[in-house]
Structure 1
């Protein structure tokens, strides 16, 4: 047998021996993968099915209605206001969280006496239930005995109690502030993980070269921290976009539907007004919005990574 023929036979034998080994990992993860696909796909299928049918308030599927639930939802001015407010809510809470969390993480990353205690204090709100946090802040902004009004009156900053949660113009900014507050611990944790992976030698070299603190932050810290900031933005958008307890516990979407976002509007449609079909349509709209944002955001990141800071 010639050398070329022998080499061909050897390659064929090698490919036959490699193929089962290459497929082995897929066989090992197949059970969990099938289970995960079932857990994810079944609720989505059920929601799509309900959104295309007339559903009673008790969940009984009636006639096929096509896109009628979507038309009804888009014709509702409360939905359109909730959609606009959801975008404002998400942008303000995520933007405010990142702006505050970056300097907090930078401070907590420094070596100083009591750093462990400071980190614990910053992370402590993360261990409290979000619903309980919203209840505490609802009490704090109470008109008559709330901590905020009492403190401001004793400091002489206001002459009488302010009805914080009685008007949408005040209630919604208050809820945004609470949303920022409860999102800081999670974001600081991500950023601290990123800062701990940055080698300290580069800062020492920068100081020797005469770089100022601002130049070190702009030229070193921000570029190295950018992947973790991107991760924090994406996770916070998904988390805040679907955040239900703060707004529902504090105002339940009121007054006069003035603080509804999509997730609270969905809850009211499904459980208060008894319109599960329309609630399913809203949930699909939210799913599509988050999916489109996630895909677009992840696609634009590689082009940004190569840009100079």
Structure 2
């Protein structure tokens, strides 16, 4: 049979993993949909069917819309900042220099630390009374008096964005290093012989060849950052005055602080829809660019 239908061989090989993944994803998804369409007790017991009642209550909550807008800013700023920082770092680490292995290790080390533990350390560092961040700024003469960074959303949220960028750089740099290592060096030698400057080589050779890896890093980082929970929750728990909530912390707040499991399930489905729409649109746009090229 396999000789007669060789095209079935790849499908048979991936079938076990595909079935396992489908079961792992399908069951929770069906359960969340069911919860989102019912009134649910604080203990997770389904009550009356309320159709779109949970969605209506969520959409009527101003805090949901504030968290949605803030999530968009959070994702754009962290992902954009991560890509902007990671590519130059990867270009430097791809060069041959003494101590390159040590430098790569130092850049990758934060990736091995728990994100929650990193957030705890930063919460201590940003403490207004004894935090080392204030102490460093004062010793450099940048500030005169300590700043309580996490006491106001105007200062807390930008600091969370910066931390989000810092913890995302190692993973993204690894992706870019993998892409740069696959670029043949001969083309750069030919470009040098033709008189191309370093910037021209970067613009006409490196960026086009790195486009698949830029796409991969963008999509993975958007999914990762959009759902990133520990930094916001550990530092401020969405406060002060709900001023730093993003959708994932708002969902957690609804479910485990207020006991509104049905509304939390509705928020999770909204998040899934947003990520799915982004992924489809982004992949299609990239596909059109590749077809045009």
Hey, what's the Cα distance between the residues in 2 that align with 1:69 and 1:203? Answer: 58
Change (3 A) 1:32 1:195: closer
1:211-268 Cα deviation digits (max 9, x unpaired): 1111111111111111101110000000000000000000000000000000000001
- 3-state SS of the aligned residue for 1:258? coil
2:124 aligned residue: 139
1:228 aligned residue: 213
1:12 aligned residue: none
- 3-state SS of the aligned residue for 1:153? helix
Change (3 A) 1:51 1:17: closer
Determine if the alignment matches structure 1 residue 200 to structure 2 residue 185.
yes
- 3-state SS of the aligned residue for 1:165? helix
Residue segments in structure 2 that go unaligned for 5+ positions in a row: none
Does the CA-based 8 Å contact 2:36-2:265 persist in structure 1?
yes
Determine if the alignment matches structure 1 residue 305 to structure 2 residue 290.
yes
Change (3 A) 1:152 1:85: same
1:97 aligned residue: 82
Determine if the alignment matches structure 1 residue 170 to structure 2 residue 155.
yes
Displacement of 1:37: 1.1
Determine if the alignment matches structure 1 residue 247 to structure 2 residue 232.
yes
Change (3 A) 1:23 1:302: closer
Hey, what's the Cα distance between the residues in 2 that align with 1:186 and 1:103? Answer: 14
- 3-state SS of the aligned residue for 1:41? helix
Does the CA-based 8 Å contact 2:223-2:275 persist in structure 1?
yes
Change (3 A) 1:223 1:26: closer
2:72 aligned residue: 87
Displacement of 1:18: 4.1
Match of 1:48 among 33, 42, 53: 33
Residue segments in structure 1 that go unaligned for 5+ positions in a row: 1-15
Hey, what's the Cα distance between the residues in 1 that align with 2:225 and 2:178? Answer: 21
Name which one, 1 or 2, has greater alpha-carbon Rg.
1
Hey, what's the Cα distance between the residues in 2 that align with 1:106 and 1:24? Answer: 40
TM-score, length-normalised on structure 2?
0.97
Hey, what's the Cα distance between the residues in 2 that align with 1:17 and 1:238? Answer: 38
Number of residues of Structure 1 aligned to a counterpart in Structure 2: 293
Change (3 A) 1:20 1:223: closer
